[in-house]
Chains A and B, each alone.
Chain A
Amino acid sequence: MSVNAEALIVGDLRALRRSRGRHFVPALVLSLLIIGGYLTLEGLRPDLWLQPAWQIAAQLAVWLLCLVALPAVGVGLWFPGKPMKLALAIGAVLAALAAAFGPALLDMLPGTGPLSQGPQLDRCVASMIGAGMPLIALGVLSGAFAQRRRAGGGLWVAGGLALMALDAITWHCPSNDLGHNLFSHFAPAGLLLLLAAVAGLVAHRRQRGL
C-alpha cells in the first residue's frame, strides 16, 4: 500500500509552524518585558486615557499590529493573501500616523503655520533608539528575520519593531506638537525601521547560509 505523502507533508508543515510558535512566544514575552520595562522606568504620559478615543483606539491597534500581526506574518505563522497583506501594511501606516499625531494630524493639512521644531537629538529620540536597539537585537538573536525564505519577510518583523518603539514613546511623551511628534517620534521610528530592515537582511543572509 502506498504512503500518503500529502498527509505526511501537511504534518511536517504543522510541526514547522508549532516550532516557529515555540520561538515566537518567548520573543513576544521578551519584547513585552523590554517595552514594559521602558514604560515602567520612564512612566506613562499623564493624559494617556484623556486622549481622544479614536487616538487611543489607533494606539491599541498599533500594539496589536506590532506585537502580534506583523511578526506573525514575518516569521511565517500567518499567511494572509495579498489583499490582506496590503490592508495590513496600509492599516499599519494609517494607525501609526493616527496613534503618533492624534489631533495634530489635522495640522499637517496645507496652509498651516511653520513647525515648532525641526530635527534634533532630544530625549525622545534617545529613548526610542535605546528601546529599539534591544528589540532589533532580540529579532536578530531569535532568528525572527530568517524564518521566511525571502529576505522581504523580515520587513514585517522590522515594521513591527519600529511600531513598538513608536507606540511606546507615544504612551510616554505627552506632546501633541506636530513638529516634535514628527521629528522626535515618527522620524526615529522610520530610522529604526531602516536599521531593523538592514539588520534583518544581514541576519537572513547569515542565518540561512546564503
Chain B
Amino acid sequence: MNPGISGLAALMDRYLDGDERAFGLLHAAVTPRLRGLLHKLVRDSATAEDLLQATLLKAHLARDGFVVRGSHADAAVQAWYATIARNLALDHLRAQVRDRKRRADTKDDRDPIAELAADLPSIEEWQVDRETAEEIARRVHSALAELPEGQREIVELHKLAGLSMAEIAERLQIREGAVRVRAHRAYKALARALGPAALIIFFELLRERGAA
C-alpha cells in the first residue's frame, strides 16, 4: 500500500517510535519524489541514487530532531526529507566544483612518475634481476644525493619512509602545497637523470620490499 502524501505524518510518528513496517511504507511513499528531486539537481542517475541512500541514512540518524511545525504535518515530513536531500545534493555539487578547481590548479603539479606508470609495463614484465636492481638502486641513490636538501628529504620521506604528503608537511612544519611543489620538482629531476623507467622500477622494488 502506498499512502501517498496523506498519512505520512502518522507513518513518520510510528517510524520514529521504531516501527519498521511504518518505515517501509514511508520509504515507499517518499523515495519516488526524492529520487526525482535529486535527479533534477545532479542530473545523473547513479549519483542521484547514491544521494538518495545517503538522504535516508542521514534522515534516520537525525530522526530525533524531526518536529512538525504548522498544521500541515504530512507536508512537513516531505519537506524534511526534501531539505536533507537538497542539502546533500548541494554539498555534492560544491565538492564537484572544488574538485574540478583543485585538479585545474594542480594539473602541472601531478606526480610525473605516477602518470608515466600507466603507460609502462608492469614490474613482472621488466623481469628485473638482482644485479640490475642493485645497479638501479645505486643510480637512484646517486641521483638523490644530487638533489637539493629540501627536495631529497621529501623524496626520502615520501617514497622510502612511505609518509603521505600531509604527514610530511606536518613533520617538516611546512604547508602541504609546498611539499607537493618540492616533490614534483624532485621527481622531475630524478626522471631526467635516470629515465622514468629506472625510477619506477626502483620504487616498485621498494614497495615490494615494504609489502614483504
Q: How far is the CB of B55 from chain A (nearest CB, A)?
A: 8
A148 nearest in chain B by CB position:
B17
CA distance A76 to B13 in the complex (A): 12
CA distance A13 to B26 in the complex (A): 14
A79 and B60 contacting across the interface, CB-CB below 8 Å: no
> With contacts A2-B50, A79-B19 known, is A9 near B14, CB below 8 A?
no
Give chain B nearest CB distance to A209 CB in angstroms.
10
- A2 and B18 in contact, given A9-B60, A10-B24, A12-B60 (Cβ under 8 angstroms): no
Whether B94 is near chain A, meaning CB under 8 Å from some CB there, is no
Q: Is the C-beta of A45 less than 8 angstroms from some C-beta in chain B?
A: no
Q: Tell me if B50 and A13 are in contact (CB < 8 A).
A: no
List chain B residues, Cβ under 8 A from A3.
Answer: 53, 57
Instruction: Output the nearest chain A residue to B20 by Cβ-Cβ distance.
Output: A13
Given contacts A79-B14, A149-B13, A149-B16, is CB(A8)–CB(B57) below 8 Å?
A: yes
Please count the residue pairs between chain A and chain B whose beta carbons lie under 8 angstroms apart in the complex. 55
Q: How far is the CA of A153 from the CA of B19 in the complex (A)?
A: 14
Task: Verify A9–B17 contact, CB threshold 8 A.
Answer: no
A5 to B24, CA, bound (A): 11
Indicate if B37 sits at the interface (CB-CB under 8 A): no
Number of B residues contacting the other chain (C-beta, 8 Å)?
24
Structural contact, B50 and A5, CB atoms closer than 8 A:
no
Do B18 and A17 touch across chains, with their CB atoms under 8 A apart? yes
Q: Hey, which chain A residues are within 8 Å of B23, CB to CB?
A: 9-10, 13
CB contacts (< 8 Å) of A150 on chain B: these are 13, 17
Q: List A contacts of B46 (CB < 8 A).
A: 2
CB pair B24–A149 under 8 Å, yes or no, is no
Q: Are B57 and A5 in contact (CB under 8 A)?
A: yes
Bound state CA distance, A148 and B64, in angstroms? Answer: 11
- A6-B56, A12-B60 are known contacts. Are A76 and B18 too (CB-CB below 8 A)? yes
- Report the bound CA distance from A6 to B24 in whole Å: 8
Contact across chains for B14 and A6 when beta carbons are under 8 A apart:
no
Q: Which B10-60 residues have C-beta < 8 A from chain A?
A: 13-24, 27, 46, 49-50, 52-57, 60
Most chain B CB inside 10 Å of its own CB: which residue of A2, A4, A17: A2
Chain B residue contacts of A20, Cβ below 8 A: 18
- Of all chain A residues, the one with the shortest Cβ separation from B64 is A149
Q: B54 touching A10 by the CB < 8 A rule?
A: no
Asked if residues B17 and A79 are in contact (CB atoms below 8 Å), the reply is yes
Residues of chain A within 8 A (CB-CB) of B64 are 149
Q: Which residues of A contact B60 (CB under 8 A)?
A: 5, 8-9, 12
In the bound complex, what is the Cα–Cα distance between A80 and B211 (angstroms)?
58
On B, residues with C-beta under 8 Å from A are 13-24, 27, 46, 49-50, 52-57, 60, 64
Provide 24 A-B residue pairs closer than 8 Å at the C-beta atoms, listed in order of the A residue: A2-B46, A2-B49, A2-B53, A4-B53, A5-B53, A5-B54, A5-B56, A5-B57, A6-B24, A6-B27, A8-B57, A9-B57, A9-B60, A13-B19, A17-B20, A76-B17, A79-B17, A79-B19, A79-B21, A79-B22, A149-B13, A149-B64, A150-B13, A153-B17
Extra A-B contacts (7), CB below 8 Å, given A5-B54, A5-B60, A6-B27: A2-B46, A8-B57, A10-B20, A10-B23, A16-B18, A79-B14, A79-B18
Q: Which residues of A line the B interface, CB within 8 A? A: 2-6, 8-10, 12-14, 16-17, 20, 76, 79, 148-150, 153
